[in-house]
Amino acid sequence: MPLEFQGEWNKDVRRCGAAADDSRLRITATTVRFYESGGPVKVVVRRAREVMFIVELSGEGETWLDAQRLILSADGSALTAPSDTGPELVRHRCPRK
């Protein structure tokens, strides 16, 4: 994953570091970790401040492929996950520890 997208992201910055927060997203160079699933990134396509990727997720005894799209704000402080079925999810960059 591109460096600008890496880090911890959360809907509420005050909840950063809280493993129990279901909006928590952690991105490294090679993995993505959501609240109850995570795994290796298999493919990344980047266009400016937007990435689409396929990740092999594992959680609760299951493994599956999932495609995701994320848009980084101009100042790099927010990450939006657009949705075709409901409201988009905006997460904010957590402070680095």
Terminal Cα distance for the chain, rounded: 20
- For the domain that residue 25 is a member of, what is the CATH number? 2.40.128
Q: Which two tokens stand for residue 38?
A: 């995570």
89: pLDDT strictly greater than 70: yes
Residues 50-73: pLDDT tens digits?
999 999 999 989 999 999 999 999
pLDDT tens sequence across 67-76:
999 999 999 9
**Structural domains in the chain (count):** 1
Q: Which domain holds residue 63?
A: 3-93
pTM: 0.91
Model confidence pLDDT, tens digit, residues 26-41: 999 999 999 889 999 9
pLDDT in tens, 6-27: 999 999 998 888 777 889 999 9
